[in-house]
Amino acid sequence: SGGGAVYHDEGNLNWSLVVPREAHDRCAELSLVVAALAALGVEAQADERGAIRLSGPGPSSGAKLSGSARRMLRDRVLHHGTLLVDADLGRMESCLGGIRAERSAAPSSVSSRVANLGSAAPGLGVDDAAAALALAFAGRPAEPAGRSVDVFAYKRAEDRLRSWEWTYGATPPFSVAVGSGGARAVVEARGGIVRSASGPGAPALEPLIGRPFDWALPAAAEELLTRCAT
């Protein structure tokens, strides 16, 4: 599914629904999460972007508790989201940011003030939230999950998700601005590969054309622009 960055630690709970496409109703499905929170004594409501925010009184009102995204297939839909229960919000904030895109074909992220469920219901734990979600989704308590793991499938999935082909090669087209002043340039990437550069400093970046984009590339571009300026 698409969407922005997702921070996950032991205080964040992920929820997922897989429904027939003809039965999919985003608002109705988000209302199940809202109902689960109400059962825990937390007032919340869904917004037009699929986020769920605190709506009760207090300083955290309006803060984001959950973001969601969907994957639409021919006959079914994956609708999933996060739920901040007791996450380390300081660490989450320090993890976000990264390389700022000048332009991107991906949906734009929107910064939001966030809060844990614990700010509205002190002492609430992840197990409590999971039990309430299961009851709202299925109308009955959750059943224990099996512990069997296909270690080979797990390793294949881990290797794929750590690979450049996934983290950069699978990205939509995007561009990144580098440099400043007269040496400024914009690097264009498609399929994770640098395809072109534009702007006053573009000639200095020719050595980067055809190079796979990665975390170190903006710094390499800055170095080439600095050499050109001197």
Integer-rounded Cα Rg, in Å, for the chain is 22
pLDDT at residue 42, rounded to an integer? 93
The answer for residues whose C-beta is within 8 angstroms of residue 93's C-beta and 6 or more apart is none
The tens-digit pLDDT sequence of the chain (230 residues) is 766 677 889 999 999 999 999 999 999 999 999 999 999 999 999 999 899 999 978 788 899 999 999 999 999 999 999 999 999 999 988 887 777 777 776 666 667 889 999 888 899 999 999 999 999 999 988 887 766 778 899 899 999 989 999 888 988 899 999 986 667 899 999 999 999 999 988 999 999 999 999 989 999 999 999 887 66
pLDDT of residue 149: 76
Distance CA 185, CA 207 (A): 14
As a three-state string, the secondary structure of the chain is: CCCCCCCCCCCEEEEEEEEEHHHCCHHHHHHHHHHHHHHCCCCEEECCCCCEEECCCCCCCCCEEECEEEEECCCEEEEEEEEECCCCHHHHHHHCCCCCCCEECCCCCCCCCECCHHHCCCCCCHHHHHHHHHHHHHCCCCCCCCCCCCHHHHHHHHHHHHCHHHHCCCCCCEEEEECCHHHCEEEEEECCEEEEEECCCHHHHHHHCCCECCCCHHHHHHHHHHHHHC
Q: Taken in order 137, 143, 147, 151, is the CA torsion positive or negative?
A: negative
pLDDT of residue 70: 93
pTM, two decimals, is 0.75
Say what the pLDDT of residue 2 is: 65
Residue 117 CA to residue 205 CA, distance in Å, equals 48
Which pLDDT does position 65 carry in this prediction?
93
Q: CA-CA distance, 139 to 76, in Å (whole number)?
A: 21
pLDDT at 142: 81
Amino acid 3: pLDDT: 63
pLDDT at 116: 94
Q: 125 burial class (0-12, 13-18, 19+ CB within 10 angstroms)?
A: middle
